[in-house]
């Protein structure tokens, strides 16, 4: 989804919840859409401070939570324990594989895995609404340095 369309939807989302549309919140949304990398709340705080010195850490964390609630962002926990975010609105579902050594993140989609997850949910009597699959291991670079 284009940044302008995401911004309009976010403004509507805030108004529907009777929340103020502030420049700080819009800046945080814009910053999330300007990157295609996964980012932490602390990284976003740093970016927001550069863009607008009035964005407090609390504003960043609250805005990220609002963006999760509205499904503008998705998040997952990295091996470090930190939550990592990415913009999700208008993007197809995908899963992640993380390198435990260097932190590299790769995104992937596998129809066979998706089908197995659906089958298992049905077998257990669940109707899937959402899911996140995170695989952890060592990337090729880190694996090759281990062998040296």
Whole-number percent of the chain with pLDDT over 90: 53
pLDDT of residue 147 exceeding 60:
no
pLDDT of residue 53 exceeding 80:
no
Mean pLDDT for 21-40 is 92
Residues in CB range of 138: below 8 A, 6 or more apart: 99, 100, 101, 146
**What integer best gives the mean pLDDT of the chain?**
89
pLDDT attached to residue 131:
84
Measure the CA angle with vertex 66, ends 61 and 70; round to 5°.
150
Whole-number percent of the chain with pLDDT over 70: 97
Q: Which of 64, 102, 59 is nearest to 85 (CA)?
A: 64
pLDDT of residue 148 exceeding 60:
no
- For each of the domains in the chain, give its residue range(s) and CATH number, in order of start: 1-91 (1.10.10.10), 94-148 (3.30.1490.190)
Mean pLDDT for 87-98 is 84
- Cα 70 from chain centroid (whole Å): 12
Helix (H) / strand (E) element for 60: namely: helix 57-69
pLDDT of residue 78 exceeding 50:
yes
Mean pLDDT for 3-32 is 93
């Amino acid at each position: 989804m284009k940044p302008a369309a995401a911004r309009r939807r976010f403004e509507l989302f805030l108004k529907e919840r009777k929340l103020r549309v502030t420049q700080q919140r819009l800046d945080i949304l814009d910053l999330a859409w300007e990157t295609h990398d996964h980012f932490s709340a602390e990284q976003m705080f740093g970016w927001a401070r550069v863009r607008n010195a009035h964005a407090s850490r609390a504003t960043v964390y609250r805005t990220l939570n609002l963006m999760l609630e509205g499904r503008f962002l998705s998040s997952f926990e990295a091996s470090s324990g930190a939550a990592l975010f990415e913009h999700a609105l208008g993007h197809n579902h995908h899963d992640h594989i993380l390198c435990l050594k260097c932190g590299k993140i790769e995104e992937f989609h596998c129809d066979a895995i998706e089908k197995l997850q659906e089958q298992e949910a049905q077998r257990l009597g669940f109707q899937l609404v959402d899911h996140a699959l995170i695989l952890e291991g060592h990337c090729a670079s880190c694996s090759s340095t281990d062998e040296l």
